[in-house]
């Protein structure tokens, strides 16, 4: 009798309807890599194409090694993460940004290896990913050409140098721009191993975490980042670490263009 009950329970389990696979929304850009990246980046979360995510990019990449991207998701509430990625790059994700006491806004520069969609994906606290972007025409080789500093041969003399400025905006917000000298090697150039900045953090003078940024090799050489942060009454601390474990840090005083490296 016990065996019969177990067998009936097993049959009932096998006969139960299987939940439908998670359905991604149709890609308005019709990228051949959309589903591949979406499944890996978003899992089974809800995904929406949303014009509230503003992605400011040129229509054409004049320099595929240095392509400016600005993402502004301030129209969305409770933003947890911002991803910037290019579908057809060999290193698709450029940055993974966690605004802490900062606005959901980020500007940077990335590499493009060919014509590709460039997108931003914004995760809100309700678990929904909001996606926006556009196709960009780009010549090949942005990820597979050696950086200029490697060609010059002077990269080691300036490795980790920081420059920055901070300007007060309306209310309590401050616009912060930081650049770091680094070759940002992708590992796709012959005889040059992957070597890149992998983490950047911004902290207030009171020790409050303001911004936390994971960085990948698709970010352009000598990376530049622009944030809009709160709680910037005193000097802002910027810390960076690269994939070899080297650490760099400095401070920026709001309303001043000077950055004093420690």
pLDDT digits (tens, 9 = 90+) for 28-69: 999 999 999 999 999 999 999 999 999 999 989 999 999 999
Q: Quick check: is 194 in a domain? A: yes
Q: Quick check: is 40 in a domain? A: yes
- The total number of structural domains that make up the chain: 1
Q: Quick check: is 1 in a domain? A: no
pLDDT digits (tens, 9 = 90+) for 210-233: 999 999 999 999 999 999 998 677
Q: Quick check: is 3 in a domain? A: no
Tokens of 55: 């992605």
Look at the alpha carbons of 195, 132, 174, 101 in this order and tell me if their dihedral is positive or negative: negative
Q: Quick check: is 170 in a domain? A: yes
Strand arrangement of the beta sheet that strand 162-168 belongs to: 54-56, 67-72, 105-110, 224-229, 174-180, 162-168
Question: Using CA atoms, how far apart are residues 54 and 52, in angstroms rounded to an integer?
Answer: 6
Mean per-residue pLDDT for 235-244? 96
CATH, residue 132: 2.60.40.2470
Question: Using CA atoms, how far apart are residues 135 and 125, in angstroms rounded to an integer?
Answer: 28
Q: Indicate the pairing of strand 46-49 with strand 128-136.
A: parallel
pLDDT digits (tens, 9 = 90+) for 164-212: 999 888 777 899 999 999 999 999 988 889 999 999 999 998 899 999 9
Q: Quick check: is 12 in a domain? A: no
Nearest to 111 by CA among 147, 81, 153: 147
Q: What is the DSSP letter of 246?
A: -
pLDDT digits (tens, 9 = 90+) for 117-127: 999 999 999 99
Look at the alpha carbons of 144, 147, 153, 155 in this order and tell me if their dihedral is positive or negative: negative
Q: Quick check: is 169 in a domain? A: yes
Domain region containing 212: 20-261
Q: Quick check: is 101 in a domain? A: yes
Q: Report the number of secondary-structure helices (H) and strands (E) in the chain.
A: 4, 16
pLDDT digits (tens, 9 = 90+) for 1-39: 444 443 334 334 334 443 334 579 999 999 999 999 999
């Amino acid at each position: 009798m016990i065996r019969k009950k177990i067998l009936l329970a097993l049959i009932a389990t096998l006969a139960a309807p299987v939940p439908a696979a998670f359905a991604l929304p149709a890609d308005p850009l019709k990228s051949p890599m959309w589903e591949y990246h979406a499944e890996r980046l978003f899992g089974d979360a809800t995904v929406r194409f949303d014009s509230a995510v503003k992605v400011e990019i040129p229509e054409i990449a004049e320099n595929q090694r240095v392509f400016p991207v600005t993402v502004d998701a301030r129209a969305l509430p409770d933003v947890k993460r911002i991803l910037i990625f290019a579908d057809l790059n060999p290193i698709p994700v450029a940055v993974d940004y966690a605004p802490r006491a900062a606005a959901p806004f980020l500007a940077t520069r990335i590499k493009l290896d060919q014509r590709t969609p460039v997108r931003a994906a914004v995760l809100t606290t309700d678990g929904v990913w909001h996606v926006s972007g556009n196709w960009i025409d780009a010549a090949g080789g942005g990820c597979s050409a050696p950086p200029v500093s490697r060609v010059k041969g002077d990269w080691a003399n300036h490795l980790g140098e920081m420059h920055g400025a901070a300007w007060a905006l309306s209310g309590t917000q401050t616009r912060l721009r930081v650049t770091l000298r680094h070759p940002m090697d992708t590992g796709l150039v012959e005889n040059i191993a992957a070597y890149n900045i992998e983490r950047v953090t911004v902290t207030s003078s009171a020790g409050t975490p303001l911004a936390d940024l994971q960085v990948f090799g698709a970010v352009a050489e000598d990376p530049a980042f622009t944030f809009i942060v709160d709680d910037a009454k005193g000097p802002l601390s910027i810390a960076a670490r690269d994939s070899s474990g080297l650490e760099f840090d400095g401070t920026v005083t709001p309303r001043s263009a000077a950055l004093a490296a420690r």
